[in-house]
Amino acid sequence: MHVPDGFISGPISLAGYALSAAVAGVAFARARKDPEESLPPLLGVTAAFVFAAQMINFPVALGTSGHFLGAVLAAVLLGPWNACIVLSLVVGLQCLLFADGGLTALGINVFNMGVVGVFFGYGVFWILGRLLRGRAGFMIAAAVAAWASVLAASSACALELGFSGTVPLRYVLPAMGGVHALIGIGEAVITATSLSVVLAARPDIVTAWRPRRALPEAAQS
């Protein structure tokens, strides 16, 4: 999903930088005002986990491979704005240190994964989380949202490639969507498994779980 240099037109690349900078700027401003002292280390630990997990590629089909996105995992753990910071840092470091994604496409890559992936995925989680109760419902909501975040981010990437004239939209959109629908299954499994482990050990640090902890047990079931 990391777009290299030369695949996105200049105007779309500039728009990606502008939108990503605006959203990341708001996210950093909100984080600076957050009084919670545990936030900086949690941001660091989550970013380190997502960074490491994204470096591992797994085969999908027909010689293609995918990697973990981590947008919904970070959003459920830290909230969507802090998740945007995490994904922005991860994508930026991957670009600068490992040339994973082009420098001219950095804004687009941050936008696709750190804005579209995070906020679309968290929106799906927020809706499902109000329909499904209990820990099982929480996990189902997170898993479905994780799958949806991968599909949304890849669809945004396909639209950008199509409108840049790199690949006809009628080819790239179904191709990206089909492959990433499979990749999203792995994303869902990893997200649900990771959240299950964290909830078992430290439920107090899962931001999206805190409102549920305040409910009586009968209201969650």
Domain segments of the chain: what residues? 10-208
pLDDT tens digits, one per residue of 133-190: 899 999 999 999 999 999 999 999 999 999 999 989 998 899 888 888 989 999 999 9
pLDDT of residue 110: 96
pLDDT of residue 213: 57
List, in sequence order, every residue forming a beta bridge with 58; answer none if it has no partner: 66
pLDDT of residue 33: 87
List, in sequence order, every residue forming a beta bridge with 66; answer none if it has no partner: 58
Residue at token pair 């240099």: 5
Query: How far is residue 85's CA from residue 24's CA, in Å, rounded to a whole number?
Result: 6
pTM: 0.90
> Quick one: tokens of 123?
């929106």
- What values do phi and psi take at 59, rounded to 5? -65, 145
Query: How far is residue 162's CA from residue 212's CA, in Å, rounded to a whole number?
Result: 42
pLDDT of residue 61: 53
pLDDT of residue 107: 96
List, in sequence order, every residue forming a beta bridge with 67; answer none if it has no partner: 57
pLDDT of residue 37: 75
29 neighbors 180 (Cβ within 8 angstroms): no
What topology is assigned to 10-208 in CATH?
A: Arp2/3 complex 21 kDa subunit ARPC3 (1.10.1760)
Query: Which SS3 state, helix, strand or coil, does residue 89 take?
Result: helix
List helix spans (H) across 134-209.
134-163, 169-201
> Quick one: tokens of 64?
């293609």
| pLDDT average per 10 residues of sequence, the chain (221 residues) | 89 96 95 82 92 76 68 96 96 90 93 96 96 93 97 94 92 88 92 94 90 52 43
Q: Which residues contact 183 (CB under 8 A, 6 or more apart)?
A: 60, 66, 67, 150, 154
192 neighbors 77 (Cβ within 8 angstroms): no
φ/ψ bin of 178: left (φ > 0), alpha (ψ from -120 to 50), beta (otherwise)? alpha
